[in-house]
Structure 1
Amino acid sequence: MSPSSNGAAWRSLRSAAIALVVSAVSLVAACGGGGSGNDAAANNGGGSPSSPSASSGPSQQPIAATAANTVPVTVNAGLTGQLPNIPTVSVTLCVAGTSNCTTVNNVQVDTASFGLRLLASALPASFANALPATAAAGGGTLAECTAFADGYTWGSVRTADVKLGGETASNIPIQLIGDLAASSTPQACANIGAAQDTVQDLGANGILGVGVAPTDCGVSCTTASGSNYFACPNGTNCAITPAAIAQQVANPVPHFATDNNGVILQMAPVSNSGAPSATGTLVFGIGTQSNNAMTGAQTLATDQWGNVTATFNNTALKAAFLDSGSNGLFFVDSALPQCGGNLGSFYCPSQTQSLSATLTARGGATATASFNVANAQSLLGNGNNYAANNLAGEFGSATSLDLGLPFFYGRYVYYGIDQTASGGKAPFVAF
């Protein structure tokens, strides 16, 4: 699991060759979000059983990504030609306070993790070397091991100006994945699984975590016993170390000068039979500009990582989260047949199913989340579809509901940043 026990899910399909041949999904847990360990919601009912009739789905259209507080989002074949439902944006990095900048394309938008993590290989070597390394409290370079269910990312913490559209987060900590020697990897990190330090592993050049938390670990990492940060003298002999909140990999959004209280991920609707590509817009700020008002949305207060509870198929679930970093809808439903073979535990019902769950917020407010589940083989078997609004499978905990990117198509999904540390608003999600 992730460094905190509250790991948000980031999933990807892996292919043996091309999109025509799709392997079993692998769950990747990023810091924050996911299974929170909260008590299950005390709701009766709240969640429909499988139905043979598929709903038409939501149909909201994204706004044009032309304003300073917007960036365009793209889903397509991506860098590997193997992974469906990977939403990406371009991110510009600058050596803090200078005009020495570079733009990294194909960075995955993840609304259930927090902070920017880029493959060192996606940056010019001279630029990467120019980014100042963060000093650990006990001396040496500060590095982080971010745990995933099928592996880990390992790399140093650097500082940089992060530019998204017309917004800038100045001099914030980011992670460079794979910039340290493999031999420096702590055993505790290596025990998790394989290193996720290449484009083939990640399916993107990095991960942009813009969920509700301001940093990727929070108070738990300020003590060595709860930390996933390491001090690496001369880049070697790395030992676990506490990391002050100001040193932790930071969500860029709260560091913008304006439009810093949240984000809206708006994805265009796609056909129920899938599509080769999809577009969307990532909007910064909620209620701060004429283009980011929140109207007509179901709003749910969350825990610090963006989790609520849920009831699905008359079963109370401990955690539910809206996660653009998951490429499918993930939950347990014994009534749905699994595909098997290369598609593993993805669902392959003979007819598209229409399902719903009741999400319960902190404080007791509820909202209904409706979604379809189609036959994964029919969606992906032709090798041409990289956007699917009804791709689902069984993976992870039987007590959680992961509403991944398929849930976002045709919707505006809002994430209110946790501002309680400064006396502001508590975190929330809305759709």
Structure 2
Amino acid sequence: MKVSQLARIHALITISMFSATMLLSACGGGGSSNNGNSSPTATTPPPVVTPTPTPPTPPTPPTAGTPAMGCGNVTSTGTGNTTQIVVDGFPCAAGGGVGQINQVDQPYVSVKICAPGSTTNCQIIDHIILDTGSTGLHIMASALSPSLQPGATGLPLMAGSAGTTLTECEVYVTSYVYGPLATADVYIAGEAVKNLPMQVIAQPGYTTPTACSKGGGTATQSTASFGGNGIIGVSFASVDSGLFFDCNNSASGTCVNDNSFVGLPHPVQKFATDNNGISITMPAISTSGVASAVGTLTFGISTQTNNVPSTSTIPLVLGFNTTNGTDGDFQTLINGYWQLTYMDSGTTEDTLLDAALPACTSASGASGLYCPTSVTNVSIGLADFNTSTVKGTLTTPVGNASTLGASTNLAAFNDLIYTNGTAASAQPQVIGFSNFFGHTMWVLFENSSAQGTGLGGTANTKVTGPMYGVN
């Protein structure tokens, strides 16, 4: 769930009806408020030829029970400006066994990491969480090969303003991660970034500063507890918002806050091309759930013929909520009630406030979710931040969580929906990854522009982010 822009939240929760642990990951748009409340600005460039919109077509989902992505044996990260997204339950956390479900509704991509300047000291790392609610690349140390471990012979460590090792802390609801920053050449699909700053999580020998651990919770030290081999944040924000430290040695030296480091950069914004936004396309799935699903991550918006939003796309202008200190919000309307909302692929399940839906009882083992007697479709009106003009609707199915939870071999659901308190106590609503199925979702980055087709403009105008698009 989403809190202040200075503390993007992962909520690692265990629901008794599942044998899997579900990660609600970093929400809050990466924490940048440089342009968090901007709105589309229209300019008039010379007339251009409008390419024919050709939304990316997801590959056919694999056969049920077969892992959609290999564990340690992936040989490609895609081509051109597209790469594969898989939802397969992260079987790697259980040794790669077929049917091992460790994460529900968690999208993964593969990323190639190389030592800067090298074409041989490289590794393709699978099961990197795809997160539109955070910014930056964070890789578990245990997922890196020995030759890429940070240090003199692997990924170069970054120095802070005091000349000592620069480290980062990410504080979550019930846990935190900590580790040094290093640089790497990063490749995904046909795109590349040289010398990209990234975090290495749980690197051995680094003592966590008290300022990082004092918030409580436990340190995340394994890929199983993290829910993946790392996370790539592709939110609208240009930099992330962790806590950064200068440490005079890796083992037990004194660490001091380093406020001069602005944050890990957005990896996609560092691409040479296709760097103004992304889209996520997922296939429609059964309300009974499926064992796995495969979709497409496409880089760029209106930079090629395969990334032009359809004219049926609902454009949403994002804003900054001064009350809660959150950015990346828009408005939703459900059964006459308006609510602040954000969209986050790294959050595994949606939340919504609908008094007409029955909540699950504690005896059902699914407390905190909805349990209608049959699948119920809820219409969500979508509007720009701080407005009450519905621009379109998103229909989300709501299933009986207690019944769905009996299926322990399924990794993808589109109708597991969490309750969101009462009208008086509700937090911002989450359109999480379960609502990505059957849609293409667009993110136009802050300070980036795109042809207006499908995003509230025309082929002859441009719009400027941050914006979402729903289709």
User: For the superposition of Structure 1 and Structure 2, which TM-score range results when normalised by the shorter chain?
Assistant: 0.7 to 0.9
Q: Distance in 2 between matches of 1:3 and 1:357?
A: 22
Partner of 2:401: 376
Partner of 2:231: 207
Partner of 1:254: 269
> Which aligned pairs between 1:43-54 and structure 2 lie closer than 5 A?
none
> Which aligned pairs between 1:352-367 and structure 2 lie closer than 5 A?
352-362=375-385, 364=387, 366-367=391-392
Return the offset for 1:13: 5.5
1:146 is the counterpart of 2:170: yes
Partner of 2:432: 404
The question of whether the paired residues in 1 share the 8 Å contact of 2:56 and 2:298 is answered with: no
1:183 is the counterpart of 2:222: no
Q: Distance in 1 between matches of 2:175 and 2:468?
A: 28
The question of whether the paired residues in 2 share the 8 Å contact of 1:12 and 1:203 is answered with: no
> Residues 50-96 of structure 1, C-alpha deviation per residue, up to 9 Å, x if partnerless?
xxxxxxxxxx9734596410100111131342221111111111112
Partner of 1:46: none
> Which aligned pairs between 1:266-281 and structure 2 lie closer than 5 A?
266-281=281-296
With over 3 angstroms needed to count, the CA separation of the structure-2 counterparts of 1:289 and 1:109, relative to structure 1, is same
Q: Distance in 2 between matches of 1:63 and 1:29?
A: 25
The question of whether the paired residues in 1 share the 8 Å contact of 2:10 and 2:173 is answered with: no
Q: Distance in 1 between matches of 2:106 and 2:24?
A: 14
Q: Distance in 2 between matches of 1:151 and 1:71?
A: 30
> Which aligned pairs between 1:14-53 and structure 2 lie closer than 5 A?
14=14, 21=19, 27-30=24-27, 32=29
Return the offset for 1:303: 3.1
With over 3 angstroms needed to count, the CA separation of the structure-2 counterparts of 1:206 and 1:242, relative to structure 1, is same
The question of whether the paired residues in 2 share the 8 Å contact of 1:327 and 1:405 is answered with: yes
Q: Distance in 2 between matches of 1:270 and 1:9?
A: 28
Q: Distance in 2 between matches of 1:316 and 1:7?
A: 25
Partner of 2:5: 5
With over 3 angstroms needed to count, the CA separation of the structure-2 counterparts of 1:324 and 1:407, relative to structure 1, is same
Partner of 1:328: 349
Please tell me the residue identity of whatever aligns with 1:345: G
Partner of 2:115: 95
- Alignment partner of 1:112 out of 133, 139, 145: 133
Partner of 2:97: none
> Which aligned pairs between 1:213-252 and structure 2 lie closer than 5 A?
213-217=237-241, 228-235=243-250, 236-245=253-262, 248-252=263-267
Partner of 1:347: 370
- Partner of 2:319: helix, strand, or coil? coil
The question of whether the paired residues in 1 share the 8 Å contact of 2:281 and 2:436 is answered with: yes
With over 3 angstroms needed to count, the CA separation of the structure-2 counterparts of 1:214 and 1:33, relative to structure 1, is closer
- Alignment partner of 2:89 out of 73, 77, 80: 77
Partner of 1:302: 318
1:136 is the counterpart of 2:160: yes
- Partner of 1:378: helix, strand, or coil? helix
Return the offset for 1:384: 1.7
> Residues 236-270 of structure 1, C-alpha deviation per residue, up to 9 Å, x if partnerless?
3222121333xx21221000011001000011111
Moved more, 277-286 or 208-217: 208-217
Q: Which structure has the bigger radius of gyration?
A: 2
Q: Distance in 2 between matches of 1:2 and 1:137?
A: 30
Q: Distance in 2 between matches of 1:368 and 1:27?
A: 24
Q: Which runs of 5+ in 2 are unaligned?
A: 38-54, 60-76, 94-100, 321-326, 450-461
Please tell me the residue identity of whatever aligns with 1:392: I
Q: Distance in 2 between matches of 1:61 and 1:269?
A: 14
> Residues 132-191 of structure 1, C-alpha deviation per residue, up to 9 Å, x if partnerless?
111111231111111211211111111111111110122121111111546333344342
The question of whether the paired residues in 1 share the 8 Å contact of 2:28 and 2:134 is answered with: yes
> Residues 203-236 of structure 1, C-alpha deviation per residue, up to 9 Å, x if partnerless?
111111111112113xxxxxxxxx7111111123
Partner of 2:334: 312
Partner of 1:86: 106
Q: Distance in 2 between matches of 1:153 and 1:84?
A: 21
Partner of 1:264: 279
The question of whether the paired residues in 2 share the 8 Å contact of 1:111 and 1:325 is answered with: yes
With over 3 angstroms needed to count, the CA separation of the structure-2 counterparts of 1:82 and 1:13, relative to structure 1, is farther
Partner of 2:63: none
Partner of 2:454: none
The question of whether the paired residues in 1 share the 8 Å contact of 2:10 and 2:26 is answered with: yes
Partner of 1:223: none
Please tell me the residue identity of whatever aligns with 1:358: G
Please tell me the residue identity of whatever aligns with 1:150: T
TM-score (ref. length: structure 2)? 0.76
Paired residue total: 394
- Partner of 1:429: helix, strand, or coil? strand
Partner of 1:49: none
Return the offset for 1:14: 3.6
Return the offset for 1:30: 4.6
Q: Distance in 2 between matches of 1:6 and 1:228?
A: 8
With over 3 angstroms needed to count, the CA separation of the structure-2 counterparts of 1:196 and 1:313, relative to structure 1, is farther
> Residues 326-367 of structure 1, C-alpha deviation per residue, up to 9 Å, x if partnerless?
111123444431253643312222222211222321474633
| Identity fraction in percent | 30
> Which aligned pairs between 1:155-170 and structure 2 lie closer than 5 A?
155-170=179-194
- Partner of 1:183: helix, strand, or coil? coil
The question of whether the paired residues in 1 share the 8 Å contact of 2:352 and 2:418 is answered with: yes
